[in-house]
Amino acid sequence: MKVLVIGSGGREHTLAWKIHQSKMVKELFCAPGNGGMSQIATCVPLQMDDIEGLKAFSLKNKINLTVVGPELPLVNGIVDEFEKVGLCIFGPNKEASQLEGSKVFAKTIMSKYGIPTAPYKVFEDSNTAKNYVIESEPPFVIKADGLAAGKGVIVTKTTEEAVQAITNILDNKVFGSAGNKIIIEDFVEGEELSVLAFTDGQSILPLASSQDHKRAFDNDEGPNTGGMGAYSPCPLVSQDDVHVIVEKAIKPAVAGLKQEGITYKGLIYAGIMISKQGPIVLEFNVRFGDPETQAVIPRLKGDLVPILLEVAKGKLETKKLAWDHRSCVSVVLASGGYPGSYQKGLTINGLEKVPVSNDCMVFHAGTVRDDKGMFTTNGGRVLSVSALGETLKESQKNVYGLMQNITFTDAFYRGDIGTKALQHSTTY
């Protein structure tokens, strides 16, 4: 069969890497892809928001399955357009994708269907929002309603910071129309956790747990990013805890949407805070997480393609997933200045020193490959390096050993991915 992966990041490279291993797949395409993906697939010069172009390509080339990586084409309705012409595509439709496309919509669903989440208020008017934070007690979490490339959530520790965030989003439009509305949420303390699950709108099949690291620098300091690394499984929760989260968060979301007349078919991602009050849903995403995918998928045993097909066809028959017992840590190598402005076109050195195998992998995100086979930087998050180990401590040691080989001007990475979990437990 022929498979098309849409996207160009580390998540998409990881999915393409896993799909490429399937005996079912004869041809693999990526649009637009990246330097690393070009080593295992044919990269097609079509952007992820070019829905008509992607649809025409898929029809012409008789693509049997399209897998959508990023949220933007999903929110823009790519699934609806593909299904109209009989193309098989993995991901939720436009209505279901509002769960990520609008934080206000997601909060409304959570409130209506009893999903535990932090108390919140919605604002469109800047002065009203500022008055609210002045009269309330910080800290606050301020969120742009729409898509903001993972940067639309701002934790503010003081009233002054909150007022500035409101000014930036509602008045200065730093996130454009995504910031026409904001949510101001009570800050909830605890440990963050990502729980991903396949669903056909009825059956739910959870993946292994993972923990993302959003802040740019060690010790969770610096601005929020799209994610600086992840590890799996997350020892802060047991499999029983994951089951509880599925029952309290994911099942009622899928069932609630169905009551609203919306069938959710694809991958649903719950961002969870393990608080003193129990698990609280911070957000829902409608696609594989990035960088969680780079830590979770290397642990998945067996063929991913049949599961993607079952979900895309609306009949999830697989009841259980098999996982490597080992831990996986994935660390993002980023460009200096990220998540702000950064330089592109820098030569990446040392990739040949990494002994790529099923135990250690380099997933490309912001890279380009030139005619001579050299890789240069082309984004803020440039590479994700993943390594497995018998314990979390061992996989952490393995991945940081690999990181030392790869360099480019002003490259940086966090040196503490997984450390929080190790501080909680001596077992891992």
Same-domain check for residues 308 and 343: no
Same-domain check for residues 241 and 262: yes
Same-domain check for residues 246 and 153: no
For residues 153, 7, 70, 169, the Cα torsion angle rounded to the nearest 10 degrees is: 30
Same-domain check for residues 336 and 387: yes
Same-domain check for residues 167 and 218: no
Rounded-to-5 percentages of helix, strand, coil across the chain: 30, 25, 40
- Domains identified in the chain, total number: 4
Which pLDDT belongs to residue 427? 44
Output phi, psi for 326, to 5 deg.
-80, 160
CB-CB contact of 178 with 145 (8 Å): yes
Same-domain check for residues 199 and 284: yes
- Residue 306 within any structural domain of the chain: yes
Same-domain check for residues 221 and 286: yes
User: Where residue 243 sits, what CATH number does that domain have?
Assistant: 3.30.470.20
Same-domain check for residues 273 and 335: no
- Residue 25 within any structural domain of the chain: yes
DSSP secondary structure string for all residues of 246-272: IIIIIHHHHHHHHHTT----EEEEEEE
pTM: 0.94
Which pLDDT belongs to residue 428? 43
User: Where residue 170 sits, what CATH number does that domain have?
Assistant: 3.30.1490.20
- Residue 119 within any structural domain of the chain: no
Same-domain check for residues 415 and 349: yes
Same-domain check for residues 346 and 397: yes
Which pLDDT belongs to residue 425? 56
Which pLDDT belongs to residue 371? 83
- Residue 118 within any structural domain of the chain: no
Which pLDDT belongs to residue 3? 98
Which pLDDT belongs to residue 426? 44
Which pLDDT belongs to residue 424? 65
Q: Which two tokens stand for residue 74?
A: 């999903």
Q: Which domain holds residue 40?
A: 2-91
Domain stops at, among 312, 341, 361: 312
- Residue 322 within any structural domain of the chain: no
Same-domain check for residues 82 and 135: no
Cα dist from 390 to 327, 335, 360, whole Å: 6, 31, 13
pLDDT in tens, the chain (428 residues): 999 999 999 999 999 999 999 999 999 999 999 999 999 999 999 999 999 999 999 999 999 999 999 999 999 999 999 999 999 999 999 999 999 999 999 999 999 999 999 999 999 999 999 999 999 999 999 999 999 877 789 999 999 999 999 999 999 999 999 999 999 999 999 888 999 999 999 999 999 999 999 999 999 999 888 899 999 998 888 878 888 899 999 999 999 999 999 999 999 999 999 888 889 999 999 999 999 999 999 999 999 999 999 999 999 999 999 999 999 999 999 999 999 999 999 999 999 999 888 899 999 999 999 888 899 999 999 999 999 999 999 999 999 999 999 999 999 999 999 998 887 654 44
Which pLDDT belongs to residue 60? 98
Each residue's pLDDT tens digit, 318-366: 999 999 999 999 999 999 999 999 999 999 999 999 988 889 999 999 9
- Residue 102 within any structural domain of the chain: no
CB-CB contact of 185 with 141 (8 Å): yes
Which pLDDT belongs to residue 370? 87
Which pLDDT belongs to residue 150? 72
- Residue 185 within any structural domain of the chain: no
Which pLDDT belongs to residue 37? 97
User: Where residue 372 sits, what CATH number does that domain have?
Assistant: 3.90.600.10
Same-domain check for residues 335 and 289: no
CB-CB contact of 408 with 328 (8 Å): no
Domain stops at, among 263, 285, 312: 312
- Residue 321 within any structural domain of the chain: no
Give, as one character, the DSSP assignment of residue 290. T
Domain stops at, among 67, 91, 115: 91
